[in-house]
Every structure is written in C-alpha cells, then in structure tokens.
C-alpha cells in the first residue's frame, strides 16, 4: 500500500494526498452481496433535523460483510480485494469450497488466491484466519474482535487498527485495544489474525471541501460564532466569547469523564485508554 501526492493542476489538488490503491484487485463488487443503503439526511420520521451537518453525498450500495465468521472448518479462497465506500478498510471476497461467497474486512497483507479458514480448534495462526481467543498465542496481532460470543466483530475494524493478545486467565483473556485500553474479554469470542488493511488511510489529505460533501458531510458551524441561544460557547463581542469547551448540551469536552461509575463491564477494564 502507498499514497501518492497529486500534481497541483487545480486549486483542489494542490495539497491532495491520495491512496495508491495498490492492494485493490477488482473494480466492481459482487452483485449477490449488495444491499440498498437509505440515507436519512439527519432527519427523523417527522422530517425534522435531529443530527446537524449530515446530508447529500454520493449514492452508495452497502456491501454485506461477514463479521461473525461462523462458517466453520470450510476453507475459502480469496478471490478479490476491493474498495468499500462504507468503511475505511478494504474488503476481501471469499469463495468457499461449497460455492458460497462472502465479504470480510481484509487483513493487511492478504493476497488473492490465499486460502483462509475459521474454526473453533486446530486452525493455524495465519493472516486472515478466524478463531476463538483461547486458541490464539500470546502477543499475536489480531483484529475484528468480538465483545460477546457470537455477536460479531465490533472492535478493531477500522483501517490500520489492531489489538494484541496479552494474557489468558481462566475463561477470560486480556487484550490491548487500539485506544490503548486494556480489558478482559471472554475467551470464546472470535478474532481474526492480523491487522486491518489500508493503514495508509490516515496519511491521505482530501485537498478540498468538496470531498467532504461527497461523503455526506455538510459544513460545520463553530460554536464560538453562534449566539448564546444556540450554544453555551456562543455570544460575546468579537472574538472574546468562548469559555470552557463544552457540547451543545453543556457537557465539558476535554477531560470530563462521561462513563458511568456503576457500569457492570467496568470490572473487565484493567487499564483505561490513553488521553
């Protein structure tokens, strides 16, 4: 994977840094794994705006991703590595021995023609294979981690992210998450070996405001320039307004802990995420 700096032929390309898409091997998705994706534009069922700064954007079709990896002990061949407009990571099309096709979040380093498998035991610790955390060796880089058994992957799914298996203790294992948080998870949860693909995503620069509009992001008004009726940080003459950074509802934005002290899963968290 690589990035390329675009020649400044136009003002919008002057600072643009684009993804090289070296890992992409197909330009069209598998039709049987596509679904429609409806946009709300930030409006509820009454047509009233409930989320600001959302709307427009290019039309997309959803790619149905297999986050559960529940097709056990059946080998699959990697057919293509594709771009997915709905996520930062690339996706890989698998063709199983019984003829079924499924998309998964592509791990970094996966190749077309590679054989991968998921199972509960005796699965080799190779990139792309999925297995319970109890079967994965210490120190292994993993991604697409379940939080509860058979829930489907919910953690370490973005481009370039990964978790690391630190320890095992009874029915729990300890993993270090991309946020820096260290927590215990049931050893029956499934994870994929390897980091997520497209690690160069963080190096890209859009170059112009129009690319945000293509993604469905509308211009955001800074709270400091609002009126007091619209935001706690609004009002004042000139640039003298502001005050402590806080949300529209008055909740402090920096350093204020919003997690409940009585949340049952607190006992599973060993170390908080880094600030």
pLDDT given at position 275? 65
All domains in the chain, ordered by first residue: 3-202 (2.40.50.140), 221-267 (no CATH)
Facing residues of 143 across strands?
192
Burial class (CB in 10 A: 0-12, 13-18, 19+), 102: middle
> Any idea which residue has 């994870």 for tokens?
191
Provide φ and ψ at 208, rounded to 5°: -155, 160
- 92 with 78: CB under 8 angstroms? yes
Q: For the whole model, what pTM was predicted?
A: 0.91
How many other C-beta atoms lie within 10 A of the C-beta of residue 34? Answer: 13
Q: What are the pLDDT tens digits along the chain (275 aa)?
A: 689 999 999 999 999 999 999 999 999 999 999 999 999 999 999 999 999 999 999 999 999 999 999 999 999 999 999 999 999 999 999 999 999 999 999 999 999 999 999 999 899 999 999 999 999 999 999 999 999 999 999 999 999 999 999 999 999 999 999 999 999 999 999 999 999 999 999 999 999 999 999 999 999 999 999 999 999 999 988 888 788 899 999 999 988 988 999 999 999 999 988 76
- 141 with 126: CB under 8 angstroms? no
- HSE-up of residue 120 (Cα within 13 Å, Cβ side): 5
Q: How do residues 55-69 score in pLDDT, each as one tens digit? A: 999 999 999 999 999
Distance CA 73, CA 265 (A): 32
- 184: its two tokens: 């215990």
pLDDT given at position 240? 81
């Amino acid at each position: 994977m690589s990035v390329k700096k675009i020649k400044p032929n136009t003002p919008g390309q002057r600072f643009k840094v684009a993804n090289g898409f070296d890992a992409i091997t197909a330009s069209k998705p598998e039709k049987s794994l596509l679904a429609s994706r409806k946009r709300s534009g930030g409006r509820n069922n009454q047509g009233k705006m409930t989320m600001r700064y959302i709307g427009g954007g290019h039309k997309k079709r959803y790619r149905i991703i297999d986050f559960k990896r529940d097709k056990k002990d059946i080998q699959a061949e990697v057919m293509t590595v594709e771009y997915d407009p709905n996520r930062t990571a690339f996706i890989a099309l698998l063709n199983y021995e019984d003829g079924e096709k499924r998309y998964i979040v592509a791990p970094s380093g996966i190749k077309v023609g590679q054989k991968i498998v998921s199972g509960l035991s005796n699965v080799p610790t190779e990139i792309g294979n999925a297995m319970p955390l109890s079967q994965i060796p210490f120190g292994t880089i993993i991604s697409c981690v379940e939080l509860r058994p058979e829930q489907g992957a919910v953690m370490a799914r973005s481009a370039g992210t990964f978790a690391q298996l630190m320890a095992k203790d009874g029915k729990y294992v300890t993993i270090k998450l991309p946020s820096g948080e260290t927590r215990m998870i049931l050893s029956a949860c499934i994870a994929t070996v390897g980091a997520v693909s497209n690690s160069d995503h963080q190096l890209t620069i859009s170059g112009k405001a129009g690319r945000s509009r293509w993604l469905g992001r509308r211009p955001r008004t800074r709270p400091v320039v609002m009126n007091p009726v619209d935001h706690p940080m609004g009002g004042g003459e000139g640039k003298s307004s502001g005050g402590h950074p806080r949300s529209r509802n008055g909740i402090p934005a920096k350093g204020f802990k919003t997690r409940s002290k009585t949340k049952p899963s607190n006992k599973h968290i060993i170390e908080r995420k880094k600030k």
